[in-house]
């Protein structure tokens, strides 16, 4: 009975949404709802992580190492992997990459369980010490909320893509209290084109999510930061060098993570991955407790510390505690091993992203850079460690994520360091230009770019990425064989409108093709029906397409061969259908009109 009531209520809501309110206003209402839900999801995730970490570590001694660091991470990865394998039963790693794939290949459809599964899995992973971030999981959660709300109200593909972007933007805006950064993230990382029709819903989600977070946690920035020196032209060389250094560290982080992920993928047994990843992570956290969890405590320390005595607290809980001369060595080793800890967490079966590791690495690198500069007394110019720790965060985010605007606005909003806009821009641009020489795509996009499944700001490529080969294949129910006579051919094609036919062997493999234009001069001469066979009339096509070819490559093949119709075969050479250039152009124009329509 209650089920029928719910169904009737939803049906009435659908009618109201279609008739009682204008479409653009309804999208704004959904964007607002996405912002609210995403903000609460982010707050819940942060609350879970904080309470799990407090429960496990609040009794640890600052002055000595703690053997439980060898246990907690393994337990966390194990619980997460069991949760994913037994309850979720789906891969929920690489959250932002999944969003990019959904935009490019799944018409913005994200599975419903992503509204909650990433939240729970990442809370367990990070709470028990996994050296990853909570931001990518909550971005996937927000995008999944947007996607499923859109499908619930039967929105079209363009509107669904916009709501996915609203969820991602709201997630970044809410969890970081950074509405401008949320908008920049969607434009730079998810590569959703900004238009007048999409700007307002994205802003509504960002502002709503940030406002909800502000109302619950207060208006203070996420990190306490005290600006020490105003910008000076004398420090521009240091800003440029820091940006280049951040670009190189970003390259190290990206390349090393990809290499280590490849090694973990070779381990097919989940328990082998658990033992390998858990052991590596536990040992690293035992040696360097700063690698435990997101690492935001260390970021807060380096940004707000007032001198060496404050900064030495970075070595609390470790075997390095009390050795004042080891601070820079300790922090440098953390920079080197952070990527190992992050990859071991996810590779071992945990769930988390690279947002927090990127900020963590950037903060430490900026601090170490300024310390080395000051100890070397370069040009007699003193660098404020707090400022350069902040700038390093911006540089690493710009480099790893290929998102200079996101880095600039996120760091400014995270810390309230708006007075450093000029050095933030210098460092961000230098870091981005440096890594772009070696890696044209971000850490999120490179996996899809290699498979040709990445949606980009290049409109031609974006449309070809959205197109699938299945959408343009013309499948045939009839085919010819080499032994058939001309009379049999005429009888078979008499009721057809096709002008080209496949010639197949007994295994349904493509042998050749037969063009009607080639036999038009003899096809009505009945006296020749038994004299000619298909084997005498068929021709080899200019080339053959394969079912796993990308649309961009298919268009290039049509241009190179000058053909108008080409056959498609699978890996075994079996015929699948024909692709006509006219069909490709028709679908292209339809998608172009849909994307361009505001």
Strand, coil or helix: what is 332? Answer: helix
Q: How far apart are the first and last CA of the chain?
A: 43
> 402 vs 142, 358, 399, 561, CA distance in Å?
21, 12, 5, 37
Asked whether the CA dihedral 332, 317, 346, 431 is positive or negative, the reply is negative
8 Å CB contact between 428 and 408:
yes
How many residues does the structure list for the chain? 598
Dig out the tokens for 356 from the structure: 């927090």
Phi/psi at 574 (nearest 5 deg)?
Answer: -75, 140
8 Å CB contact between 579 and 474:
yes
8 Å CB contact between 393 and 359:
yes
Distance CA 435, CA 236 (A): 20
8 Å CB contact between 150 and 403:
no
> 583 vs 157, 185, 399, 580, CA distance in Å?
20, 35, 40, 5
H-run or E-run covering 63: none
Dig out the tokens for 482 from the structure: 């080499």
Q: Provide the total of helices (H) and of strands (E) in the chain, helices listed first.
A: 25, 6
Phi/psi at 382 (nearest 5 deg)?
Answer: -95, 135
Distance CA 180, CA 357 (A): 21
Distance CA 323, CA 208 (A): 47
**Could you list the mean pLDDT of each consecutive 10-residue stretch along the chain, which spans 598 residues?**
55 57 83 95 94 88 77 93 90 75 72 91 93 90 92 84 91 92 87 71 94 92 74 88 97 93 90 93 92 91 86 85 85 95 93 91 96 90 90 94 91 81 94 92 67 48 64 83 88 80 90 88 84 90 87 84 89 89 76 54
Please name the residues in contact with 502: beta carbons below 8 A apart, sequence gap of 6 or more.
Answer: 476, 479, 480, 510, 513, 567, 575, 578
Q: Per CATH, the architecture of 11-217 is what?
A: Orthogonal Bundle (1.10)
In CATH, what class is 461-596? alpha beta
Whether 461-596 and 11-217 are alike in CATH topology: the answer is no
Q: Where are the domains of the chain?
A: 11-217, 233-456, 461-596
Whole-prediction pTM value?
0.77
pLDDT confidence of residue 15: 58
Phi/psi at 506 (nearest 5 deg)?
Answer: -65, -25
Distance CA 464, CA 461 (A): 5
8 Å CB contact between 28 and 105:
no
Question: Going along 391-508, which residue ranges are E strands?
Answer: 473-474, 500-504
Q: Which of 196, 213, 208, 121 has the alpha carbon at shortest distance from 169?
A: 208
pLDDT confidence of residue 128: 94
Q: Per CATH, the architecture of 233-456 is what?
A: Orthogonal Bundle (1.10)
């Amino acid at each position: 009975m209650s089920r029928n009531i719910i169904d009737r209520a939803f049906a009435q809501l659908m009618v109201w949404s279609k008739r009682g309110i204008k479409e653009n206003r309804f999208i704004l209402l959904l964007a607002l709802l996405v912002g609210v839900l995403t903000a609460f999801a982010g707050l819940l995730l942060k609350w879970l992580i904080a309470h799990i970490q407090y429960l496990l570590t609040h009794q640890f001694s600052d002055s000595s190492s703690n053997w439980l660091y060898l246990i907690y991470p393994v337990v966390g990865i194990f619980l997460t992997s069991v949760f994913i394998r037994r309850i979720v039963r789906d891969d929920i790693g690489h959250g932002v990459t999944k969003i990019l794939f959904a935009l490019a290949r799944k018409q913005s459809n994200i599975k419903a369980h992503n509204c909650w599964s990433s939240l729970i899995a990442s809370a367990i992973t990070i709470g028990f010490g996994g050296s990853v971030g909570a931001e990518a999981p909550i971005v996937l959660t927000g995008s999944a909320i947007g996607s499923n709300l859109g499908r619930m109200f039967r929105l079209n593909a363009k509107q669904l893509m916009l709501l996915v972007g609203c969820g991602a933007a709201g997630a970044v805006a809410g969890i970081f209290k950074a509405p401008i950064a949320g908008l920049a993230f969607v434009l730079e990382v998810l590569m959703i084109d900004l238009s007048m029709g999409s700007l307002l819903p994205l802003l509504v989600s960002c502002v709503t999510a940030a406002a909800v977070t502000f109302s619950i946690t207060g208006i203070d920035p996420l990190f306490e930061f005290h600006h020490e020196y105003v910008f000076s032209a004398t420090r521009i060389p240091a800003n440029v060098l820091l940006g280049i250094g951040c670009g190189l560290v970003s390259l190290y982080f990206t390349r090393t993570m990809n290499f280590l992920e490849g090694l973990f993928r070779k381990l097919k047994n989940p328990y082998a991955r658990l033992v390998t990843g858990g052991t590596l992570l536990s040992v690293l956290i035992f040696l360097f407790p700063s690698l435990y969890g997101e690492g935001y405590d260390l970021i807060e320390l380096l940004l707000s510390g007032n001198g060496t005595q404050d900064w030495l607290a970075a070595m609390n809980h470790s075997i390095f505690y009390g050795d004042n001369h080891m601070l820079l060595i300790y922090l440098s080793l953390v920079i080197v091993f952070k990527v190992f800890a992050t990859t071991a967490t996810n590779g071992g079966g945990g769930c988390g992203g690279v947002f927090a590791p990127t900020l963590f690495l950037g903060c430490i690198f900026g601090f170490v850079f300024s310390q080395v500069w000051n100890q070397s007394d370069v040009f007699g110019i003193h660098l404020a460690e707090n400022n350069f720790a902040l700038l390093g965060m911006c540089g690493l985010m710009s480099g790893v994520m290929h998102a200079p605007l996101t880095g600039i606005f996120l760091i400014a909003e995270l810390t309230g360091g708006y007075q450093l806009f000029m050095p933030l821009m210098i460092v961000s641009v230098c870091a981005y230009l440096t890594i772009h020489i070696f890696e044209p795509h971000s850490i999120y996009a490179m996996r899809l770019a290699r498979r040709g499944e990445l949606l980009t700001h290049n409109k031609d490529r974006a449309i070809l990425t959205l197109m699938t080969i299945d959408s343009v294949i013309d499948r045939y129910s009839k085919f010819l064989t080499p032994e058939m006579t001309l009379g049999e051919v005429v009888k078979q094609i008499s009721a057809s409108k096709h002008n080209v036919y496949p010639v197949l062997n007994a295994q349904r493999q493509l042998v050749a093709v037969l063009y009607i234009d080639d036999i038009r001069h003899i096809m009505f001469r009945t006296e020749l029906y038994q004299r000619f066979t298909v084997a005498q009339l068929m021709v080899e096509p200019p080339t053959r397409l394969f079912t796993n070819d990308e649309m961009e490559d298919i268009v290039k093949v049509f241009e190179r061969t000058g053909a108008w119709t080409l056959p498609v075969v699978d890996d075994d050479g079996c015929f699948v259908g024909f692709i006509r250039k006219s069909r490709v152009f028709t679908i292209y124009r339809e998608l172009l009109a849909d994307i361009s329509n505001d």
